[in-house]
Amino acid sequence: MYEEEQKERITRKIYSRFGELLDSGLGTDTLIEVGKEPNIKSFRAHSFILFAVSPYFQTALSKPWVHKVDDKIHYKKPNISPKIFEMILNFIYKAELNLKQQKVADICSLIKASDELSIDILNEHILECVLQDPRRLIDEDPVNILQIIFRYDYFSDFRETFLRITCENPEKWFQITGKDFWYNVKPFKKVLPKEMYDDILGYNIDNSIQPKSFEILQKRQKPLNLSRKLVVDYDEMYRRAKISRRARSFFLE
């Protein structure tokens, strides 16, 4: 027990020193420019620290044709925003990352960036944090988070959990509000059959329109009982919906 406490104390002290190096810029040999106009920012870093945590940077910053100015590496990464890259550097140098304070859209962007940069320790940390409160992610941004869990293999064991939460207390198609339709149905337009989509859209505009692809049932009085374990057979789900190729390309694109 004492040895573990000592190890943790030493680790915290070392990280505090790394954090000071990041904040001061002392000894940095790398300048990384991230983002796109008008949101571009340059960060100073130490190549040996980036090498230690990221196989991506080991390759990208070691190439003989890497751009140097005044003996310092200059590297551009336009597809990662300054906000996300700052989060990554703070995690690497300071072990600081509080995802509870972040929007789901930013968490999804962080997952994509961490995966691209091959920072395994960050991927593991994000996964642990995400699984602590999956409901918040689904409630705030279901489209983005479902695309993420279907795209990355390290979420494969938890897809059922996220789908179960998504399927709780469903609304019938024609009881969806216009706002919910715009934010939660429209993003799936290319997955849904055209006639179904047109029926839902038309009914939201004028509920006197009789849909062709649906029978309008009475409003459900009680929520569905989902106390039993929900087992999802993805292939069967895709086959029955007759949208296998479109659904897979949507989630994995």
Domain final residue pick, 37, 61, 96: 96
CATH code of the domain containing 92: 3.30.710.10
Domain boundary among the residues 71, 96, 121 is at 96
Structural domain includes residue 119: no
Q: Is residue 65 part of a domain?
A: yes
Cα(29)–Cα(24) distance, rounded to whole angstroms? 13
CA distances to 81, 126, 143, 225 from 123, in Å:
18, 5, 20, 34
Stretch among 28-42, 52-66, 187-201 having the lowest mean pLDDT: 187-201
Q: Is the pLDDT of residue 84 over 90?
A: yes
- pLDDT bracket for residue 244 (50, 70, 90): very low
Average pLDDT over every residue of 168-185: 68
Residue type, 41: K
**Residue 52 to residues 63, 93, 197, Cα–Cα distance (Å):** 16, 11, 49
Q: Rounded to 5 degrees, what angle do the CA atoms 166, 230, 125 make?
A: 60
Confidence of residue 239 (pLDDT cuts 50, 70, 90): very low
pLDDT, residue 58, reads 94
Instruction: Please check whether residue 67 lies inside any domain of the structure.
Output: yes
Residue 106 is assigned to a structural domain of this protein: no
Examine the fold and report which residue of 96, 123, 149 is the final residue of a domain before the chain moves on: 96
Higher pLDDT, 32 or 208: 32
Query: Residue 230: what pLDDT?
Result: 42
Burial class of residue 21 (count of CB atoms within 10 Å of its CB; 0-12, 13-18, 19+): middle
Residue span of the structural domain in which 234 resides: 164-252
- Is residue 56 over pLDDT 60? yes
Q: What is the pLDDT of residue 19?
A: 87
Stretch among 21-25, 30-34, 111-115, 183-187 having the lowest mean pLDDT: 183-187
pLDDT digits (tens, 9 = 90+) for 95-142: 899 998 899 999 999 999 999 999 999 999 998 888 888 888 888 888
The number of folded domains in the chain is: 2
pLDDT at 174: 59
Above 50 in pLDDT, residue 231?
Answer: no
Q: Are residues 6 and 89 in the same domain?
A: yes
According to the model, what pLDDT value does residue 28 have?
95
Query: What confidence tier does 65 reach under pLDDT thresholds 50, 70, 90?
Result: confident
Give residue 226's pLDDT. 45
Is the pLDDT assigned to residue 13 strictly greater than 80? no
Highest mean pLDDT among 16-20, 34-38, 93-97, 168-172: 34-38
Say if 133 falls within a structural domain.
no
Residue 91 lies in a domain: yes
Mean pLDDT of the chain: 79
pLDDT at 228 over 50: no
Same domain as 169, residue 87: no
pLDDT of residue 238: 44
Torsion, Cα 228 232 236 237, to 10 degrees, reads 100
pLDDT, residue 107, reads 93
In a domain, 145, yes or no: no
Is residue 117 in some structural domain? no
List the one residue out of 206, 223, 241 whose CA is nearest residue 172. 223
